[in-house]
Amino acid sequence: MDMKTLECKMNFTIEQEQESDGRWLAEVPELPGVLAYGATSLEAMSRAEVLALRVIAERLEHNESRPFAINISIPVMA
């Protein structure tokens, strides 16, 4: 019997915005609850990326998701 490998890919985007108090907020909309604050845009995005990877790892570890290719997009500052 010939079995084909099912390939699943998910793309994650990190969105950011500056709060009125000067802090930066970054979130991954595809993973509800994955958001992080930072003193700078880069710090917030780095924290959100780390948190996203932890959430994905936890889901895989607890069989809540199957393995898939990961592509994280981070917008480039002008």
Tens digits of residue pLDDT in 3-55: 444 456 678 899 999 999 999 999 999 899 999 999 999 999 999 999 998 99
Residue among 23, 27, 1, 24 at smallest CA distance from 12: 27
Domain housing 55:
15-62
8-state DSSP, 24: E
| Per-residue CA distances from 50 to 28, 42, 46, 59 (Å) | 11, 12, 6, 14
Specify the pairing of strand 35-38 against strand 24-27: antiparallel
Quote the number of domains for the chain: 1
Tell me the Cα Rg of the chain: 15
The answer to whether the predicted template modeling score (pTM) of the entire model surpasses 0.75 is: no
Instruction: Evaluate whether residue 29 is within a structural domain.
Output: yes
- Looking at residue 31, its pLDDT comes to 92
